[in-house]
Amino acid sequence: MRIAVIGAGALGGTFATLLSVAGHDVTVTARGAGLHAIRERGIRLEGGFGMATAHPTALERLAETPELALVCTKAQDAEAAIRDNATVLDGAAVIVIQNGLDGVDTARRLLPGSECFGALSIVAANYTEPGLVTVTTAAPTYLGRGRGPADAATRRWQAVLAAAVPCAAIDDFVGSQWTKLVVNMLNALPAITGLSVQAVVAHPGLRRVMTLSMREAVRVGMRRGIRFGAMQALGHRRLRAFSLLPAWAGQLLPLMMRARMGAVPNLGSTLQSVTRGQRTEVDFLNGAVVREAVAAGVDAPVNRMLTALVHEVEGRGAFLDPVEVLERFSRSR
**How many domains is the chain built from?**
2
pLDDT digits (tens, 9 = 90+) for 3-13: 999 999 999 99
End-to-end CA distance of the chain: 55
CA torsion sign, 89 to 90 to 94 to 100?
positive
Q: How confident is the model at residue 205 (pLDDT cuts 50, 70, 90)?
A: very high
Last residue of a domain, one of 116, 148, 171: 171
CATH code of the domain in which 10 resides: 3.40.50.720
Mean pLDDT confidence for 201-215:
96
Last residue of a domain, one of 171, 205, 237: 171
Measured from the Cβ of residue 102, the count of other Cβ atoms closer than 10 Å reads 17
**Percent of the chain surpassing pLDDT 70:** 99
**Percent of the chain surpassing pLDDT 90:** 82
Q: Identify the pLDDT of residue 273.
A: 86
Residue 122 has pLDDT above 90, yes or no: no
Mean pLDDT confidence for 77-104:
94
Residue 184 has pLDDT above 80, yes or no: yes
> How many helices and strands, by DSSP H and E, does the chain display?
16, 12
- Under DSSP, is residue 239 helix (H, G, I), strand (E, B) or coil? helix
Q: Identify the pLDDT of residue 224.
A: 96
Residue 117 has pLDDT above 90, yes or no: yes
pTM (two decimals): 0.88
* Mean of the per-residue pLDDT values of the chain: 93
Mean pLDDT confidence for 142-166:
95
The verdict on 73 and 115 lying in the same domain is yes
The CA distance from 231 to 229, in Å, is 6
- Under DSSP, is residue 73 helix (H, G, I), strand (E, B) or coil? coil
From the CA atom positions of the chain, what is the Rg in Å? 19
Cα–Cα distances in angstroms (integers) from residue 9 to residues 28, 129, 165, 281, in the given order: 10, 9, 17, 14
User: Regarding predicted confidence, which is higher, 104 or 139?
Assistant: 104
The residue among 273, 261, 250 whose CA lies nearest residue 192 is 273
CATH code of the domain in which 238 resides: 1.10.1040.10
Residue 191 has pLDDT above 80, yes or no: yes
The verdict on 150 and 233 lying in the same domain is no
The verdict on 161 and 132 lying in the same domain is yes
The verdict on 147 and 239 lying in the same domain is no
Q: Kindly state the helix (H) or strand (E) to which residue 130 belongs, with its residue range.
A: none
Mean pLDDT confidence for 27-41:
95
Last residue of a domain, one of 152, 171, 190: 171
The verdict on 307 and 187 lying in the same domain is yes
Q: How does strand 141-144 pair with strand 93-97?
A: unpaired
The verdict on 283 and 152 lying in the same domain is no
User: Regarding predicted confidence, which is higher, 125 or 210?
Assistant: 210
The verdict on 21 and 137 lying in the same domain is yes
The verdict on 159 and 269 lying in the same domain is no
Residue 167 has pLDDT above 90, yes or no: yes
Residue 169 has φ and ψ, to the nearest 5°, of -85, 140
Say what the alpha-carbon torsion angle 80, 85, 86, 87 is, to the nearest 10 degrees.
Answer: 140
**At residue 293, what is the residue type?**
A
Q: Identify the pLDDT of residue 187.
A: 94
Burial per residue of 59-90, b for 16 or more beta-carbon CB atoms within 10 angstroms, e otherwise: beebeebbebbbbbbbbbbbbebbeebbeebe
pLDDT digits (tens, 9 = 90+) for 283-300: 999 999 999 999 999 999
pLDDT digits (tens, 9 = 90+) for 234-286: 899 999 999 999 999 999 999 988 877 777 777 778 888 888 888 899 999 99
User: Regarding predicted confidence, which is higher, 234 or 56?
Assistant: 56
DSSP string spanning 251-287? THHHHHHHHHH-SS----HHHHHHHTTPPPSGGGTHH
The CA distance from 24 to 227, in Å, is 36
Residue 109 has pLDDT above 90, yes or no: yes
The verdict on 151 and 291 lying in the same domain is no
Whole domain around residue 328: which residue ranges? 177-332
Q: Identify the pLDDT of residue 84.
A: 95
The verdict on 136 and 214 lying in the same domain is no
Q: Identify the pLDDT of residue 108.
A: 95
Mean pLDDT confidence for 32-40:
95
Mean pLDDT confidence for 75-92:
94
Contact 203, 322 (CB under 8 A): yes
Residue 96 has pLDDT above 80, yes or no: yes
Q: Identify the pLDDT of residue 261.
A: 75
Contact 24, 3 (CB under 8 A): yes
Mean pLDDT confidence for 159-165:
96
The verdict on 118 and 134 lying in the same domain is yes
pLDDT digits (tens, 9 = 90+) for 307-332: 999 999 999 989 999 999 999 998 87
The verdict on 121 and 183 lying in the same domain is no
Q: Identify the pLDDT of residue 230.
A: 87
Q: Identify the pLDDT of residue 41.
A: 96
